[in-house]
Amino acid sequence: MAGGGGAEAQATSADRHKKKRGKGLKIGVHIDMTPMVDVIMLLLTFFMLTTTLATPQVMQINLPKGDEKDKVKVDMGNVLFIRVSDQGNIYFSLGKSDGTEQAPEFVEFTDMKNRLEALYAANENLLLLLKFSRGMKYNLMVDILDEINRAAIEKRYTFLPMEETDREIVRLAGG
**Which pLDDT score is estimated for 42?**
93
Is residue 66 predicted with pLDDT exceeding 80? no
* Verdict on whether the full-model pTM lies above 0.85: no
| Residues sharing a CB contact under 8 Å with residue 90, sequence separation 6 or more, in sequence order | 82, 83, 84, 106, 107, 108, 109, 112, 144
- Report the chain's mean pLDDT, rounded to a whole number: 80
Q: How far apart are CA 119 and CA 113, in angstroms?
A: 10
* Domains of the chain as residue ranges with CATH: 75-173 (3.30.420.60)
Rounded to the nearest 10 degrees, how much is the dihedral formed by the CA atoms of 102, 87, 156, 125? -20
- Phi and psi at 18, nearest 5°, equal -65, -40
The pLDDT > 90 percentage for the chain reads 14
CA distance linking residue 119 with residue 102, whole number of Å = 14
Q: What is the pLDDT of residues 26-60, one digit of tens each?
A: 778 888 888 889 999 999 998 888 876 656 677 67
